[in-house]
Amino acid sequence: MAGKFITLEGGEGAGKTTQARLIKSYFEESGFDVVLTREPGGVPEAEKIRNLLVQRDGGNWTPMAECLLFFAARQMHVETLIKPAVAEGKIVICDRFTDSTVAYQGYGHGFDLDTIRQIEALTLGGFSPDLTFLLDIPVKDGIGRSLKHNNSAPGDENKEDRFERLDVSFHERLRQGFLDLAKKNPERIRVVDARQSAELVFGEICAAL
């Protein structure tokens, strides 16, 4: 039996990591083999690229360079981890995937959406999630949660807050981008109100699963 590929999307502070862990436990308790991973990252090569993209001093990339780095990491992730796991019948749960690149680099930064889709087709060949949960939260609520979490961590040089530090207007465009993607892909993307408690959010996810 082929496995399934499930992704979680949303802006900063939406609670994706918490829900990914809960979904992992949900499937494991039902007897499934589960792989929990993240983007950018998931495999050693992609984790190296992650440091360049999300850390505070990771670099000042052009829109094209940034997009190519995300897809370079993703191509390694898909080919060496995700596809083999799904082929073995495992459930793969990923914190972010291509929707994040479209929302952040496309809607947020204004990089050409058609170009992003062309790069996606070249690197992934049509591979996409079976199901995506979009955890939607108002921008100020999400940024507040995320900065609170990052500020509790020691040191500044390795903090993964490069995107949180962008202006509010960027995050508003980002949120609308995710919601637009959900409208265009209703068969795949389920929108969940992330202002609720983690328990209530997970309840909605379980109902959909």
In tens, the pLDDT along 98-117 reads 999 999 999 999 999 999 99
Nearest to 123 by CA among 73, 83, 62, 85: 73
C-alpha 93/C-alpha 159 separation (Å) is 24
Over residues 73-81, the mean pLDDT reads 98
Q: What is the mean pLDDT of the chain?
A: 91
* Cis omega (within 30 of 0) for bond into 44: no
pLDDT above 80: residue 163: no
pLDDT for the residue numbered 156: 54
- Per-residue pLDDT tens for 18-69? 999 999 999 999 999 999 999 999 999 999 999 888 876 667 889 999 999 9
pLDDT above 90: residue 146: no
What count of Cα atoms within 13 Å lies in the side-chain half-sphere of residue 163?
Answer: 26
Write down the CATH superfamily of domain 4-208: P-loop containing nucleotide triphosphate hydrolases (3.40.50.300)
pLDDT for the residue numbered 61: 87
Residue ranges of alpha helices (H) inside 78-191 are 83-87, 98-101, 113-124, 139-151, 168-184
